[in-house]
Amino acid sequence: MRSAKDFFAPLAVGAPDPVREVPARPSRMIHFFDPSNPKMAAKVPDLVGTVDVLLGNLEDAVKADNKEAARRGLVDIAKVTDVGEHTQLWTRVNALDSPWVLDDLTTLVTEIGDRLDVVMVPKVQGPEDIHYVDRLLAQLEARAGLRRPILVHAILETARGMANVEEIAGASPRMQGISLGPADLAADRRMKTTRVGGGHPGYLVRQDPTDGDVQGPRATYQQDLWHYTIARMVDACAMHGILPYYGPFGDIQDVVACEDQFRNAFLLGCVGTWTLHPVQIAIAKKVFSPSAHDVAHARRVKEAMGDGTGAVMLDGKMEDDASLKQCLVILELADRLSANDPELAALYAPAEGDGPA
Ligand SMILES: CC(=O)SCCNC(=O)CCNC(=O)[C@H](O)C(C)(C)COP(=O)(O)OP(=O)(O)OC[C@H]1O[C@@H](n2cnc3c(N)ncnc32)[C@H](O)[C@@H]1OP(=O)(O)O
Ligand SMILES: CC(=O)C(=O)O
Ligand SMILES: [Mg+2]
């Protein structure tokens, strides 16, 4: 572990200073595209401004024969596309043990490093993986003359990564966030699922029998396969001041279950999710933007709490310092989203007769 005194020192001569805080930019949807797929690549200009993050994916879901085309395609897209102020450009590079990752990082940082906000690293096993990427990025940033550090995002998709999640989250000031990788994680854990994220009808609890009648009808309740993993990831991220995300939901047609999965993650503390198909973008936007009702309620609690201490009754419920803090989380998010989005600003605007914001 580096000394606390050295933690914010650049890891290569000439590399930019590390950031002290993750930039507060919306990242409700990290929209994946394959830069080697001409149809998807052609849609990138239209996606600018409609998604918070555009991610050029180089890893899984890109055919082995297309790895170099994807890397080159991303360089070309980044050079000609103005992503504007409200959309970030990220990439997911290949795994650290793959034959492609060294060229991915070298090419992307030296050719388009000034346009890349975040590098997502798959299959992170422990802090040593982040340390490796951290130093390499610093060397490449120095070579490219970059003035702003590229941040790092880890995917939690191995049992060892899961066991080390707190150390991964705190491994470098470059750490921007962590996403759940439910498909690889399920395989690595030897779970008996065959899906990309979401629940499973077999993972359930059953109502007790009535009068000992084990053959009689009994209700079943499907349980959330990902609760422990997401909750632990959220705690690790909150502890280190970085951002947690749900990952992919592979059943593109099941927009209802997709929305449920996204909302579970939002309620547990995630700030965003991946979108794999255009149909998932609006779902992510809806779920990861607080509702007008919650914003209005949060504002009423803030108003009722005055100086923020003590306890008050509002609509028959006790509110105090701790419920106020939750409301402030909602209001801060609403403010940040409103700054970029006039529609949300109008939705969240206090109604006539409401107290001050
Ligand atoms: C476990 C993991 O690692 S998850 C992360 C890796 N996986 C990915 O990144 C997957 C990204 N998404 C995809 O590859 C595709 O969306 C698929 C394969 C799931 C579905 O693709 P398709 O069968 O082409 O879907 P569909 O026919 O509904 O697409 C409609 C249009 O949207 C386009 N489109 C589909 N996905 C995307 C996308 N992610 N971004 C932009 N455009 C897209 C299609 O090219 C198609 O364009 P067209 O109208 O010009 O023909
Ligand atoms: C997100 C991802 O890569 C996975 O689920 O495996
Ligand atoms: Mg994976």
264-277 pLDDT per residue, tens: 999 999 999 999 99
Please give the sequence-ordered ranges of beta strands (E in DSSP) within 62-150, or none if there are none: 88-92, 118-121
Ligand 2 mutation pick, 155, 180, 194, 245, max ligand atoms within 8 A of CB: 155
59 close to ligand 2 (CB < 6 Angstrom): no
CA distance 294 to 286: 13
ipTM value for the complex? 0.99
What pLDDT, in 10s, does the model give residues 66-125? 999 999 999 999 999 999 999 999 999 999 999 999 999 999 999 999 999 999 999 999
Burial class (CB in 10 A: 0-12, 13-18, 19+), 273: buried
User: Measured in angstroms, how far is the CA atom of residue 122 from the centroid of ligand 3?
Assistant: 7
181 close to ligand 2 (CB < 6 Angstrom): yes
CA distance 152 to 169: 10
Query: What pLDDT, on the 0 to 100 scale, is given for residue 28?
Result: 98
Q: Output the residue whose Cα is nearest ligand 1's atom 17.
A: 277
User: Measured in angstroms, how far is the CA atom of residue 247 from the centroid of ligand 2?
Assistant: 7
Instruction: Write down the residue that tokens 């790895």 correspond to.
Output: 67
Bridge partners of 55?
Answer: 32, 90
CA distance 241 to 262: 21
Which of these CATH numbers, 3.40.640.10, 3.40.50.300, 3.20.20.60, 3.40.1350.10, describes 4-288?
A: 3.20.20.60
User: Measured in angstroms, how far is the CA atom of residue 215 from the centroid of ligand 1?
Assistant: 46
Q: Output the residue whose Cα is nearest ligand 1's atom 29.
A: 277
Neighbours of 163 (CB within 10 A): 13
Full-model pTM: 0.97
Torsion of CA 195, 229, 281, 298, to 10 degrees: 150
Ligand located closest to 185 CA = 2
Report the SS3 class of residue 39. Answer: helix
The response to whether 92 counts as a known ligand-binding position is yes
CA distance 227 to 199: 10
Ligand located closest to 250 CA = 1
Q: Output the residue whose Cα is nearest ligand 1's atom 6.
A: 61
Ligand located closest to 183 CA = 2
Neighbours of 216 (CB within 10 A): 10
Query: What pLDDT, on the 0 to 100 scale, is given for residue 355?
Result: 55
Query: What pLDDT, on the 0 to 100 scale, is given for residue 121?
Result: 99
Bridge partners of 33?
Answer: 56
Residues of the chain with pLDDT under 50: none
Query: What pLDDT, on the 0 to 100 scale, is given for residue 352?
Result: 72
Q: CATH 3.20.20.60 occupies which residues in the chain?
A: 4-288
